[in-house]
């Protein structure tokens, strides 16, 4: 009963703020979503998946969550961000899951969210990197996908949060894929490295696809 009351009180302030964030995000940054292929999910993510994306700013998770608001997307966020008063509401409204290097609680919480039918967004770079540079990936996304038994769906995002009304946010949605199971007779370190490189190349391909679409648009205009 106590937990139900807490959940109700949280919903009383989270849902109205989330609705405001949806409107503001679309007004300020005019997000444009592209899809890599016709087989990619359109309008919203319909299945439970592990979503991955390059990391531009600390509020990326909340932004993607409100852009694809038809499907509940939980985002992974460093626990230290929860101590910043101006980010805490964004993290809560983005259904964020805290993560640190000392506990695997984030993996359990993420798996539970997926089992309930939601998706989880993780940033494999492990840190925000403004611009178009993509840093090497870490294998947390792979551990989660294998633990939950769901596909991986790569995103690529480009834009600038400090220039509202001018710099449009653009997101390219890739194609879901199931990671290969780890071979029983091989080095796990090599396997994780190969899978990280595979996702990295898929993300780079999305970046190049976005560049081609923007170039085509300029040529047409």
pLDDT tens-digit series, residues 72-118: 898 888 777 667 766 666 666 667 787 777 778 889 989 999 999 99
Confidence of residue 200 (pLDDT cuts 50, 70, 90): very high
| φ, ψ of residue 157 in degrees (nearest 5) | -125, 145
Task: Give tens-digit pLDDT for 166-199.
Answer: 678 899 999 999 998 888 776 788 899 999 999 9
As a dihedral over the C-alpha atoms of residue 128, residue 130, residue 190, residue 140, rounded to 10 degrees, the angle is: 30
Measured from the Cβ of residue 81, the count of other Cβ atoms closer than 10 Å reads: 16
Q: What's this model's pTM, rounded to 2 decimal places?
A: 0.85
CATH class label, 2-220: alpha beta
32-35 sheet: strands from edge to edge:
32-35, 170-173, 152-158, 50-52, 119-122, 73-78, 97-99
In whole angstroms, give the CA distance from residue 40 to residue 120.
Answer: 17
């Amino acid at each position: 009963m106590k937990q139900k009351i807490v959940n109700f009180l949280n919903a009383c302030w989270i849902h109205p703020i989330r609705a405001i964030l949806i409107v503001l995000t679309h007004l300020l940054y005019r997000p444009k979503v592209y899809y890599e292929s016709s087989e990619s999910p359109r309008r919203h993510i319909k299945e439970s998946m592990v979503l991955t994306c390059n990391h531009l700013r600390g509020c990326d998770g909340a932004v993607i969550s409100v852009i694809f608001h038809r499907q509940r997307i939980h985002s992974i966020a460093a626990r230290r961000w929860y101590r910043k008063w101006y980010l805490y509401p964004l993290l809560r409204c983005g259904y964020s899951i805290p993560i640190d290097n000392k506990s695997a609680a984030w993996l359990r919480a993420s798996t539970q969210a997926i089992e309930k039918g939601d998706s989880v967004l993780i940033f494999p770079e492990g840190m925000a990197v403004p611009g178009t540079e993509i840093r090497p990936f870490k294998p947390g996304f792979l551990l989660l996908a294998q633990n939950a038994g769901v596909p991986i769906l790569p995103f690529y995002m480009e834009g600038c949060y400090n220039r509202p009304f001018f710099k449009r946010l653009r997101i390219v949605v890739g194609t879901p894929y199931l990671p290969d199971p780890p071979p029983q007779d091989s080095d796990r370190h090599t396997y994780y490295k190969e899978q990280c490189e595979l996702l990295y190349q898929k993300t780079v391909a999305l970046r190049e696809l976005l560049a081609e679409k923007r170039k085509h648009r300029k040529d047409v205009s």
